[in-house]
Structures are given as C-alpha cells and as structure tokens.
A and B are shown apart, each in its own frame.
Chain A
Amino acid sequence: MRFLSTRRRHPAARASLLVFALIVMGALYAAFAPASQSSADTGTSQQVAEGKNLFAVGCAACHGLNGEGQSTGEIQGPPLTGVGAAAVDFQVGTGRMPLARPEAQAPVKANRYTPEEIASLEAYVSSLGPGPDVPDPAEYDAANVSAEDVARGGELFRTNCSACHNFEGAGGALPGGKYAPSLYGSSNKTIYEAMVTGPQQMPVFSDGVVRPEDKRAIIAYLRTLHQRPDEGGLSLGGLGPVSEGLWAWIAGLGTLMGISVWIAAKGAKAK
C-alpha cells in the first residue's frame, strides 16, 4: 500500500486509475451481461414481426413505415416492394443500409446487425412482395469453373460490367458524386446479389438474360483476375491511363527533371 500511496500524485496516476476502472467495469459487464444467443426460428410470422420492428427503427425513416417508399420531402427512399431478400442481404449485410445520412452514394461501412436480425429484415421485406431470394452457396461457388468458362466470364464482364466497374473491377466514377465501387474484396455472394437485385444505380442483370451459369463465370473471372499476381510489376491501382499517366508525368518526368537540375547545378563553392 505504501507503493500506491507514495505515488498517488504521480502524473500518470489519474490515467492509470481510469484504465483500471474501465477494465473492472468491462470484466463485470462480461460476467453479468446475458450471453448473446441466436434464437431459433419459432415461426415465420414471428420473424416477420421482429423484422417489422427492426424495419421501423432502422429503415422506415426513408423507406416509409410499410416499405412503400418516400418520393417527397427532404428524406427520400425507394419503395421496397418486390426487392426481395437478396437486396436486404446485400444492402444491410455490407453495411450500405441503413444510410448514415441522405447522400448520393451508399458507401460500405461496418454492419451493425446480427445475422439473425438481417434474416428477420429479409423475412419482413420478402413479405412485402415477391423478389429475388438470397442465393444458394452453390449458385455463386466459383471453385469448379472451367478455364473456358472463366474466359467467357471475362467476355461477359467486359461487355456488361466494365463500363462502370473498370476492366479490372477497380471501380469508377459516376455523375453527381456517385461511384461504382471497386470489386476487389467483394465476396462472391455480394457480387451475385448485386447482379440479381441491381442496387442503387446499378442495372439489374436478371437470370433470364445473364443466366446463373453466366453469373458464376463472371464471378470466377473476377476471382481469377484478382488472385493473379501482376506480372508486369506494380499495378498502380489498375485504373488505366489516369494513374499510369500520373506516375509517368509527375513521378517519372519529375525525377528526370530533378536529375537534370542536379547535373547542371553549380554545387557548393569553397568561398
């Protein structure tokens, strides 16, 4: 105790006391707080009811209390009738929804919902009208796609997707502060759901036109592309002439100019 009392006026005393108190509080909370457990489905109607409650808290401000959408006023949101469970899984699962504020783009952010809560939301939104379901893992599994199909996926990607997402899937700009996000790091499921549901400004690529095997080929192509090392050196973001030109003109030419200045400079003199 002598050790503590002699150091009670030490500059770090307050801070360490605070840290200690926080640790104690955390330990107490962990000991007494109820363990989170996934509640088993007791029935679809209950899940829908839970989803409706969650919807009223997180979504209704923009999408209306019954998902009917709001097209007037400052806060607007599209109707959610018929968007399906896949849209909910995409939007909420990647943290795009709920939006932090009304803005041009819905950026990816940390998802605050548990899988059970997302499932309830999916059940509720699906009850508003029939729409695409969350895809089966087999539908977006790109592991056993043949090399021919990967090549076909590349052709499909360049025809259908590269206009916005760039030829490497690095993303690109859209008018008015919007952008097509980079596909690096997007999961197979996310890419599949995006094609089926057409989130935000992205068009829909329905199964009737871009068939499920075509979608799988596109995903396999992206996987192949993104797992392959850059044989020619650093990719500079794969953005094409913009980033490459920037490097060549600013970094490359700048270095050359610096060297020429150094060659011609007079240098230090003795006097």
Chain B
Amino acid sequence: MSDLIRHGGNDDDAGGDNEHAMDTQAQRSAELETVRDSGRYPVPDPGMEEHLPRLTDVDEKAFDRATRQVATMFGLVPVLAIAFVVVYFAVPRDATFLDTNAKNLFLGLTAGLALLLIGVGAVQWSRQLMDDHEMIDHRHGAASTEEDVEYVLRELQAGADESKIKRRKVLGYSLVGALGALALPIIVSFADLGPKPTKRLRAATIETTIWKQGIKLVHDVTFVPIKASEMVIGQLVNAQPENLKELEGTDQLVQRAKASIIIVRMDPNSIKIPDSRKDWQVGGILCYSKICTHVGCPISLWEQQTHHLLCPCHQSTFDLGDSGVVVFGPAARALPQLPITTDAEGFLVARSGFTVPVGPSYFERDSRGDYKGE
C-alpha cells in the first residue's frame, strides 16, 4: 500500500532503492515500476484504512430508507418544476411578498430548490447506495514515451522538408519579418496611456480647476446661486462653480470631479480663522474642496456641532472650523479652502481659484503651499 508508482526514469528520490532505480534507467521504456520510498517519511505509512460496511450495506431497512430519501428528493423536482410554470403564468408582475417582487422571489425559490434537490439527492445516492469500496489510483509520470518524442520530431522534420523552407530561406525570413512588424502597431498604441504627465501638463489639468475670480457659487443640482444672507449657521451646501453649466459631456464630468465644493456656515466666534485667511470667508461662511486629500472621495459628511467633516471611505476627518486641518485618519494634507467673497448683489463668488491643487496626493505634487496650521 505504501508504494508509489513512478515512471522508471525517476531516480532522484528513491533512497535505499537506488540500485533498483538504476536498473530501471537501463530500460527507459514506457514500463511502470514500483518504487518503495517509505524511508523518506519519519512516520510509517498507516496504509489503507480498514474497510467497514455502511449501515445501508448490512441493513436492508436502512437501504430502503436511503432509497426513499433519494427518490423523494428526485420526486419533488417535477412538482417544483410545475410550480415554477404556475408561478410564471399565475403570479402578476407587480405582486409583492415581504416587500419584494413575489414573482421573482418564487421563480427563484422553485427553480433553485429543484436544482438543489437534484444535487443533494445525487450526493445522497452515491454516499449511501452506490457500491462502497476503496480504490488505488496509480500515479505516473507525465512525460511522453521515447517513441512518441521520436515520432513527433520526425513528423516535424518531414513537414519542414515538404514546405521547402530550407531550400528557399527567404520564405522564412519574410514570414518572421511580417509577424515582427505587427508588433509595431501594438507597441505604438501604448502611447494612449499617455500623454506623459509633465509639469506643464499637470499644471493645465489636475492642478487646476475652473474656479476663477468672480465665479458664482451655485447649488450642485439646481444651479441656484447662493446668497450669503440665505446661509444660516449650521448650513451645509454642496456646490459647484456657475461656469460648470457651460460645459457638456465628459468635459463637464472631468471639471465637476475637481471643482466640487462644500460651503458651510459656522458661528465665527466658535471657530479659528487664521489671519492669512481673514478675507477668505464671509461672516463664518467658509468654502472647501469636496474632494478628500487622501484618495479623492467626494465628502460631505459634516457634523455641524463638532465642525468635523468625515470621509466615509477611510475615516479621514477634517476640522472645517480650523482651516480644514486633518484631525484623524490617513489623509496627510488639510482640505484646500476656496477664498470667497460676495458680489454687489450679495451672492457668494470666488475670490480666486484654489491656491493649491485639490484632490489626492501624487508623487510630483508640490506641497509647499498647503496649510499646515498657524
């Protein structure tokens, strides 16, 4: 039982049976040879377990019971199949059961249960009723026999001769050239991964938004401009630049992804406004980028009493009452603040664009302009 059946040529692990293995090497044929290698293992091979009959092998009643189980399971399948058809025609499309669509639910239940019963019945059949005896599956090497190898090589050679590729070498060279040239279009199309993010390209794309001086802050969905007087303490507005409306399609989405902002109003006496940012706000109305500086999730989960803005992706927390500094989580930089003021009619407008790039970090990003507390 403890023997491994190996291909004759394999002799590197034969242990004490080296001599035996050498013998077999001499006759390198397809013959299978038994190699005893029990010396390799510290624990003796326990061998095949003693065969014990199952209940169904000795007890005719148990056998009948198992038969009944399997037959019942198989017998329920046609019932479920008919139930499926009945549900398909009888249950209206908009009927509900447990707040779900009744038709979908019962179609799934009947079909699923039918498949399950077939599977469970088949397993029960093979476990309890089919013949139960242990078997040895012999394992042998995967290499081809020498005859096979010789035959294939001979056929290849014959094919090469018949194709005349040896008499007219140019055929082969031109074919290789043709296939090689096809690599060129593939390699060239990798240029689509670019353009290379040079400093100038970064400055024109990811490091800039469409915010400019005098652009109105408008509500994200309705594009209603926001009056400073309409902002009450504790208010949060998800907003966009008014000029986003002029863009369309992909361009609008790209710009929206960078220009999204949140406007909050807090009691000016309860927050810290550094001297350098005194004129970035209007009576406690502050405006920040909505894009988390960690990996760029849009965030508007703001607690109005603690002034904390939480990113639900990785729990970075920014204190909007303290120029957006990070108070918790993996974000490394304060949330960029947009300087705002009011226009003649009292609407909130940008004082300038963002002073630092918004969004997540990247290797080449210049972080010298970021707010680090005062």
Contact = CB atoms under 8 A, between A and B. Distances in A.
Interface string B283-311: 00000000000000001111111101010
Interface string A211-249: 100100000000000000111111100000000000000
Interface in B302-324: 302-306, 308, 310, 312, 315, 317
Interface residues of A toward B: which range? 35 or more
Given A230-B99, A271-B52, A271-B53, A164 B301 contact: yes
A207 B234 CA distance: 13
Given A159-B238, A229-B100, A230-B100, A269 B52 contact: yes
Nearest to A214: B222
Interface residues of B, number: 51
B128 A208 contact: no
Contacts of A200: 305
A209 B55 contact: no
B227 A208 contact: yes
Contact of B100 (A160, A234, A262): A234
A269 B100 contact: no
Contact of A174 (B59, B104, B231, B310): B310
| Interface majority SS (helix, strand, loop, mixed), chain B | mixed
Given A175-B308, A232-B104, A204 B234 contact: yes
B235 A163 contact: no
Contacts of B302: 203
B224 A211 contact: yes
Nearest to B230: A208
A203 B57 CA distance: 73
A270 B58 contact: yes
Residue among A174, A203, A229 facing the most chain B CB atoms (10 A cut-off): A203
Contacts of A262: 123
Contacts of B312: 163, 172
Contacts of A164: 301
B304 A203 contact: yes
Contact of A231 (B104, B222, B229): B104
Contact of B221 (A159, A235, A269, A271): A159
B236 to A, nearest CB: 3
A155 interface: yes
A270 B62 CA distance: 11
A201 B96 contact: no
Contacts of A208: 226-227, 229-231
Residue among B58, B238, B264, B315 facing the most chain A CB atoms (10 A cut-off): B238
Given A204-B236, A233-B108, A269-B52, A152 B303 contact: no
A191 interface: no
B98 A234 contact: yes
Contacts of A235: 99-100
A78 B304 CA distance: 12
A268 interface: yes
B14 interface: no
Contacts of B59: 270
A91 B312 CA distance: 27
Nearest to B305: A201
B201 interface: no
Q: Which 8 A-B pairs have the closest CB atoms?
A: A208-B230, A203-B236, A201-B303, A269-B52, A229-B96, A163-B301, A204-B235, A163-B300
18 contacts: A155-B221, A159-B220, A159-B300, A172-B312, A202-B304, A204-B232, A204-B304, A209-B219, A209-B224, A209-B237, A214-B221, A235-B100, A262-B123, A267-B54, A269-B52, A270-B53, A271-B52, A271-B53
Interface of A: 78, 152, 155-156, 159-160, 163-164, 172, 174-175, 178, 198, 200-211, 214, 229-235, 262-263, 267-271
